[in-house]
Structure 1
Amino acid sequence: MRYQNETFSNISIQNLTIILFNKVIFILQHLVYNMQNQMTNSNDRLIFSENYIYHNDNKIFQNKL
């Protein structure tokens, strides 16, 4: 019984780690975009949502996790 609990615990920790890593990447995407936007001062809009990235309202990328 103890082995099953440890296995479940390890799987849970791995899932939490993956979720946290995805959130960190998501935040980094925003930071990089903001830096690029400040440097170029362009009117292009790049929008990151949980599932898609939009460029000037055109869907250009779908995240597949």
Structure 2
Amino acid sequence: MFPYPAAVLAAGGITTRQDLEAVAGLKGRGVAGALIGRAFYTGDITLPQALATATAPTTGRRPSR
């Protein structure tokens, strides 16, 4: 369990599905979700893509950034 009493939402800079996959890889480390704004508006990430990424099993690896 994450050592803090609150969950974290990733926000800002999530512009591609790869960014969303990196955030999804942080499940279990305190990251509870991601806020996606402009990427939805521009169509860079679609709702079906976001939902598929959020529900896919993760590798447990940290993002490379």
The TM-score normalised by the length of structure 2 is 0.26
From the CA coordinates, give the structure whose radius of gyration is larger: 1
The structure with the largest strand share of the pair is 1
The structure with the largest helix share of the pair is 1
Relative contact order, CA 8 A, sep 6+: which one is greater?
A: 2
